[in-house]
Amino acid sequence: MDNAFNYSQYRLRAMQGGDSLYNRMATANLFKEAQDAELEYKARKVTDKISENMNVIANEPSLAFFRIQEHVRKSLPQLVETKHEVQDIQQKVQGASFDTEYATNAVKNLQKSSMHFQNIQDLMKNAMFMKQQIDYQHDRSEPLGTPVNEPVEPVVEALVSPGGLSINADAS
């Protein structure tokens, strides 16, 4: 029972504000030198880690810039080559575009010139008609026994004469 009484007394003292287990251990002179050596070792270890981390953090941006510089040095020649290829392709595409535009304008101008082609066609029809009339006049004026290779001067004179054929004459 004696132990039970001591335990309850001990428990009561532990619960009081000023007399805690920490205070009793801190005020005890047992192992004081051992605690200081261990504490100094832990403190030194913590400060070394903190200074190492500070050094890494302080040098982190320069390492990042070094990595960026390394990346740029490796990728820049390929990037420049690609840029030159793109410029060459752009020039070729621009040339093809100009050629296409020129061809499109040529086709549009051909469509606009259809009136001129129609006039040429009408003139060709008139020329063919005139040729038929000249052949007809030549066949009529020539006797049946004459050679074919005779000059056509009488027909030309008939065309040039004031009463001769004209472009607007009917084939009667």
- Residue 169, pLDDT score: 45
This prediction has a pTM of 0.36
Inter-residue contact 133 to 165 (CB < 8 Å) = yes
pLDDT at 149: 57
User: What does the CA dihedral 116, 121, 126, 127 come to, rounded to 10 degrees?
Assistant: 100
d(CA 153, CA 164): 13
The amino acid present at 38, given as its one-letter code, is: E
Over residues 64-82, the pLDDT tens digits come to 888 889 999 999 999 999 9
Average predicted confidence (pLDDT) for the chain: 77
- pLDDT tens for 21-78 read 666 666 655 555 556 888 889 999 999 999 998 888 877 777 788 888 999 999 999 9
Q: Where are the domains of the chain?
A: 115-167
Q: List the one residue out of 169, 164, 125 whose CA is nearest residue 141.
A: 164
What's the distance, CA 122 to chain centroid? 53
Write phi, then psi, for 143 (nearest 5 degrees): -70, 165
Count the neighbouring beta carbons within 10 Å of the beta carbon of residue 29.
6
User: How large is the average pLDDT for residues 8-12?
Assistant: 52
b/e burial code for range 134-159 (CB count within 10 A of at least 16 → b): beebbeeeeeeeeeeeeeeeebeebe
* Long-range contacts formed by 64-68: CB under 8 A, 24+ apart: none
Q: What own/partner pairs with CB < 8 Å and gap ≥ 24 does 23-31 have?
A: none
